[in-house]
């Protein structure tokens, strides 16, 4: 297959391109190579065709779509950013860019799409109360966070909640600007599929990490923050009490999930978008991850600061049963193995804000 990979020079996109080449596909990489995201020319397989352009440039996208069988849409502005002042940039890039891409696909007759989705669309994860069963907690208040009350409580009785695995049936509840744009990307893609007879898959990535992750930027994930600190000889600064639960999934596994989705698209029913959690299936706390990275790197040990960010959620871990059942994909890189590799791997230098993958 000939596959257009938007954001294909970025962290996740470049791993997808490598995985496609390994399977004798023909990737076409569309990337603006913004200096804020790429301070050095990226290294991609010679087999990859290059189009240097922004995904918001419909004429360039239309040209890149010639002869393409499917699109793997990774281009996005990622992370929580530095404040609400970033909102226009997130919306213009993530939603404007997706709209331009889908419009060009509609014109070109390209009908298969794999979208880089995100677990942030759920807000908080799945919780159960001993009295009220499954409940959906409200966003955490600043007064609770400032007082060190980090865990949400039952909205009915105020009792402690047990966190569990969230599945794709959970209602969306985006709690920051980035999350809103990721949910909007799915809605746009679903409308495109209905109106054009297209087939779309959204891979809701959980916390992706691994070699080539950008360094020293506020527009990245927590694993990048910790690895960047260690690279500078500084202790990772862990917010809250470090007991936040996450699902850390290796970037090579995520690349394989994209390949599996691309292979499955031709057999799927047209006119629909199907979402799949894409995680390791192994919950770990943020503190565990910081300690594992620091130990593998040789220190310094993490520092637990009690700081917090409004818009962060407490616990979000994935059930990836659907993607195992329907696409035959499962994560292969274990937590300890992956963190040990990441602790020694090179990061790509990046300034901010970074347009890369979600």
Question: Would residue 205 show up in a list of annotated catalytic residues for this protein?
Answer: no
pTM: 0.93
pLDDT for 353 equals 42
pLDDT for 46 equals 84
Q: pLDDT tens for residues 95-138?
A: 999 999 999 999 999 999 999 999 999 999 999 999 999 999 98
pLDDT for 16 equals 97
- Under DSSP, is residue 257 helix (H, G, I), strand (E, B) or coil? helix
pLDDT for 346 equals 84
Can you point out the beta strands (E) in 69-147? 70-73, 76-77, 112-118, 126-129, 133-135
List the domains of the chain with CATH numbers.
Answer: 2-125+166-344 (3.40.50.720), 126-165 (no CATH)
Which residue of the set 178, 205, 209, 219 is catalytic? 178
Residue spans of the chain under pLDDT 50: 352-358
pLDDT for 17 equals 97
Q: Which token pair is 25?
A: 């596909």
Burial 48-71 (b: 16+ CB within 10 A, else e): bebbebbbbbbebbbebbeebbbb
253 close to 334: Cβ distance less than 8 angstroms: no
């Amino acid at each position: 297959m000939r596959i257009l990979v938007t954001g294909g020079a970025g962290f996740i996109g470049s791993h997808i391109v490598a995985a496609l080449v390994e399977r004798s596909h023909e990737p076409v990489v569309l990337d603006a190579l913004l200096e804020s995201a790429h301070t050095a020319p990226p290294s991609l397989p010679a087999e990859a065709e290059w189009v240097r352009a922004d995904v918001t440039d419909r004429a360039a996208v239309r040209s890149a779509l010639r002869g393409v069988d499917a699109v793997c849409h990774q281009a996005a502005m990622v992370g929580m950013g530095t404040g609400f002042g970033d909102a226009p940039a997130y919306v213009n890039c993530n939603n404007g860019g997706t709209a331009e891409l889908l419009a060009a696909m509609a014109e070109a007759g390209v009908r298969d799409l794999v979208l880089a989705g995100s677990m942030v669309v759920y807000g908080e994860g799945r919780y159960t109360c001993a009295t009220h069963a499954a409940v959906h907690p409200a966003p955490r208040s600043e007064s609770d966070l400032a007082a060190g009350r980090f865990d949400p409580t039952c909205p009915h009785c105020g009792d402690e909640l047990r966190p569990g695995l969230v599945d794709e049936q959970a209602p969306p509840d985006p709690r920051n600007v980035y999350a809103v744009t990721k949910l909007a990307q799915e809605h746009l893609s679903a409308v495109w599929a209905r109106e054009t007879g297209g087939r779309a898959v959204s891979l809701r990535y959980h916390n992706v990490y691994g070699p080539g992750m950008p360094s020293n930027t506020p527009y990245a994930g927590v694993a990048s923050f910790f690895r960047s600190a260690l690279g500078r000889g500084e202790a990772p600064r862990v917010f809250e009490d470090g007991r936040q639960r996450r699902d850390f999934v290796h970037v090579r596994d995520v690349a394989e999930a994209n390949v599996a989705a691309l292979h499955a698209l031709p057999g799927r029913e047209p006119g629909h978008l199907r979402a799949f959690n894409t995680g390791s299936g192994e919950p770990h706390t943020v503190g565990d991850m910081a300690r594992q990275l620091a130990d593998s790197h040789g220190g310094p040990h993490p520092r637990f600061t009690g700081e917090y960010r409004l818009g962060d959620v407490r616990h979000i871990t994935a059930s990836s049963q659907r993607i195992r059942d329907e696409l035959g994909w499962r994560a292969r890189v274990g937590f300890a193995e992956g963190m040990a590799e990441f602790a020694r791997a090179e990061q790509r230098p990046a300034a901010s804000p970074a347009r890369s993958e979600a």
